[in-house]
Structure 1
């Protein structure tokens, strides 16, 4: 990316960039995309701004990232929009301030200079925050706290409940329209009262987050049990694999990045410090004394064809560490896996038998089979639940709960 490149002076500039944290789908097939509510808000804001201004037909009123795609083109597009937009609108939620991507967006915009067209008592920053949900019980990071934005000016119900509740609850319909109109007016006022020159298009992935990072972060280990592309069995194509076992990409073509990277981003967004390793690199440590931090094991069932390595997973299951949560990603669109589904299921049942009924020793697997997400969206939701299961068990262990030699009841106290 050309770090010195800016935007053409005559290029149309969107009024606002809507920055928000993507919400994962509920872990069920066919579940509605929860981010559609943010998309509706975006459309309503664009419509209101078109009514308020004389923006010509075809003028980019705003920008909202709907893709969730990773990679260079995705990052370049975000950087270009952040370098040219006139106002930055962060959509506040607890998930927002845990998102590294949102923190980078805030950082990139705030690097640009802001000049007020006329002196006023209020210092214009070019940032107009909006409440997606109430943040009353959450401490804002320093950069957000310094804005001292008066949310009450958009309406009492908005300030108390946030836009999501106003959209979902029919009784708040008029309050929602009032809040959107006032937010749109605020965006236009800031855009017209300030001069914010276009900025440089910088490398998005290398930017720091604007949000405060804790001095110490809770760790989460992400362990990958899969193949390298050169060690695959004859029945399996190399399409989903790479040079390292951590390069496994089970949800291609929907996601073309290693699954471990997606998992790390999710853990990081929850406030944890993730590490990614091949299962084989840390198997002996896991077997000896258990993980020193909560661990999520990503299991490729195809790797159970390797008897020696699958025996390590079987032994880990028998050690019964509650601080290890297992996810077995299963791409419904992977025809090769579907053709061998019975064989792969039998292999999995042999290595990780499901605990049922009166069986005293729980397995690493959940009885409900919830750890087999069939799509990348389902995986993101399941990853959050797996992190919470492992962390809950780890906290119980730290408080003097069941030791490693006794049976551990891993029925989660949080989530499904």
Structure 2
């Protein structure tokens, strides 16, 4: 059977298939966010050409640049996955949330792998690469079980990932080292294994190799805010809805509830989020002797004007729960927030003294924060850190009570 690319059975097989998660554009006119992956692909192909005797014109690697759907697109992916010699997954939080990437992994691993000679590592034909650091993210089973060491790629690579090494000038030499080591590893695996050409599968019909989050990989997100009918007279209703979870502090430009963005962040980290109004969570948070899940509380400081409700938050602050992270999103573009900033800050100091004293960034409004202070992008970064703080503390709490049953986050090479 001829391939959809016009290459028949005798065609040269590419050394590697670069599997990566396509990053969506911020807007239609924005720079292609996958440009840097394309540059890495080109650098890898050049390095492999330099260290092998591959004939000119032979395909060195394959990278899906199109994102096109349809039969021809699926046939092309299937052909490349059935013929490539090495599979290179580019690890990122987005990667393990991508159904297409999970299908690519599954399709490649349907092929048999034979070792030419014994090595210390089990032959898989898979050479993982770090696009970003994955130390704080839960890897799916198929990835955590890989016996693969990246020690020779350099300490900065392991700590930062290839994307940072490419973007930061001071890491230029470390990037060159990591690319050369990765290219050599691809060539070594291709030489040390025999992976016969596989069957060209129905790509769209393949399952994902990445299992869904385990039930215990939960994070609870609660919102302390207003329903629209509860608002004080001097607060605009434009950021509020019928539920307290409808709060949209960054409106405009964002017209979706902030808790939806928070849940998206948690899911991208491998967690299974649930969303609640603070009042539904308050009793459990106030009385629980042990946590049921890591938790994040999103606080609207305008709601501190409701003295009866804010007293519950004040009592919770006194408990100083390590597995509860508190965020105070603050939109500096909101004129009402700017006009009443001093008053609202003083309210927050009175309600959350322990929380504010215990963290370096008391809110998302600090002048010293990166990017636009109080922007939605900054919130997403703070949300990642909040989830990790809560999750780490939760694991410490649970493992201290039940020795040996704690959850361990696997790392590459372990």
Distance in 2, Cα, partners of 1:221 & 1:119: 42
Aligned pair 1:200/2:195, yes or no?
A: no
Give the aligned length.
345
Residue in structure 1 matched with residue 328 of structure 2 by the alignment: 328
Q: Shift of residue 110 of structure 1?
A: 4.1
Residue in structure 2 matched with residue 283 of structure 1 by the alignment: 282
Q: Shift of residue 341 of structure 1?
A: 1.9
Q: Shift of residue 292 of structure 1?
A: 4.3
Q: Is the 8 A contact 2:317 2:355 kept in 1?
A: yes
- For residues 155-304 of structure 1, what are the structure 2 equivalents within 5 Å? 157-158=152-153, 164=162, 169-172=171-174, 175-179=177-181, 181=183, 196-197=200-201, 199-200=203-204, 210-211=210-211, 217=216, 219-228=218-227, 232=231, 235-238=235-238, 240-252=239-251, 257-270=256-269, 272-289=271-288, 292-304=292-304
Q: 1:143 to 1:242 in 2, by over 3 A?
A: same
Pick the aligned partner of 1:101 from 97, 100, 114: 97
Q: 1:101 to 1:145 in 2, by over 3 A?
A: closer
Residue in structure 1 matched with residue 347 of structure 2 by the alignment: 350
Pick the aligned partner of 1:371 from 354, 363, 370: 363
Q: Shift of residue 129 of structure 1?
A: 3.1
Distance in 1, Cα, partners of 2:101 & 2:22: 12
Pick the aligned partner of 1:340 from 334, 337, 342: 337
Residue in structure 1 matched with residue 384 of structure 2 by the alignment: 384
Q: 1:318 to 1:213 in 2, by over 3 A?
A: closer
Distance in 1, Cα, partners of 2:280 & 2:138: 39
Distance in 1, Cα, partners of 2:318 & 2:359: 16
Q: 1:323 to 1:111 in 2, by over 3 A?
A: closer
Distance in 2, Cα, partners of 1:349 & 1:47: 59
Q: Is the 8 A contact 2:331 2:337 kept in 1?
A: no
Structure 2: which 5+ runs fail to align? 7-13, 24-32, 82-86, 117-121, 366-373, 402-414
Q: Shift of residue 115 of structure 1?
A: 8.7
Deviations 1:344-376 (A, max 9, x none): 542342244388xxxxx7245656444326223
Distance in 2, Cα, partners of 1:135 & 1:141: 12
Distance in 1, Cα, partners of 2:200 & 2:385: 42
Q: Is the 8 A contact 1:310 1:351 kept in 2?
A: no
Q: Is the 8 A contact 1:224 1:260 kept in 2?
A: yes
Q: Shift of residue 142 of structure 1?
A: 4.2
Distance in 2, Cα, partners of 1:301 & 1:139: 33
Distance in 2, Cα, partners of 1:90 & 1:268: 20
Q: Shift of residue 173 of structure 1?
A: 5.8
Structure 1: which 5+ runs fail to align? 1-8, 23-33, 66-73, 356-360, 401-416
Distance in 2, Cα, partners of 1:294 & 1:139: 15
Deviations 1:51-89 (A, max 9, x none): 988699xxx963479xxxxxxxx9x97999788533564
Q: Shift of residue 280 of structure 1?
A: 1.9
Distance in 2, Cα, partners of 1:319 & 1:146: 39
The normalised TM-score by structure 2 is 0.58
Q: Shift of residue 285 of structure 1?
A: 3.1
Residue in structure 2 matched with residue 362 of structure 1 by the alignment: 354
Q: 1:345 to 1:130 in 2, by over 3 A?
A: same
Say what the alpha-carbon RMSD is for the aligned residues.
5.7
Q: Is the 8 A contact 1:286 1:316 kept in 2?
A: yes
Residue in structure 1 matched with residue 410 of structure 2 by the alignment: none
Give SS of 1:107's match: helix
Q: 1:299 to 1:338 in 2, by over 3 A?
A: same
Q: Shift of residue 279 of structure 1?
A: 0.7
Distance in 2, Cα, partners of 1:396 & 1:148: 27
Q: Shift of residue 225 of structure 1?
A: 1.4
